[in-house]
Amino acid sequence: AIGGMSELPDTADIVIAGGGIVGSAAAYFLSGSTELEGQRIVLVERDLSFAEASTARSAGGLRQQFSPPQNIAPSRATLGMI
């Protein structure tokens, strides 16, 4: 949950399911939107550490297997961000 909340609020204006890279990015950019100022944005993720979120567990996000070196190098460079 964004803001370190461990319990879900009773109401929200926007609910994002999943704290992987897509859900986290959506919450981040929506929370910075001036058009949505004052809206309650809630990110729901069953793992509050985000270590076991979908992106962190996905081997498909890394193109190291059966890929040319030109694809492997950028993937390895961004591995630390995931």
- Find out whether 55 and 20 touch, Cβ atoms under 8 Å: yes
pLDDT in tens, 43-62: 998 887 877 777 766 655 55
Mean of the pLDDT values across residues 67-76? Answer: 77
Instruction: Tell me: pLDDT of 1 over 50.
Output: no
0.75 exceeded by pTM = no
Q: Let me know: does 10 contact 45? Beta carbons within 8 Å.
A: no
- Please tell me the distance from the alpha carbon of residue 42 to that of residue 15, in angstroms, as a whole number: 5
Residue whose pair of structure tokens reads 């509050």 in the numeric block:
48
Q: What is the pLDDT of residues 10-21, one digit of tens each?
A: 899 999 998 888
Instruction: Please tell me the distance from the alpha carbon of residue 54 to that of residue 44, in angstroms, as a whole number.
Output: 12
Amino acid symbol at 47: D
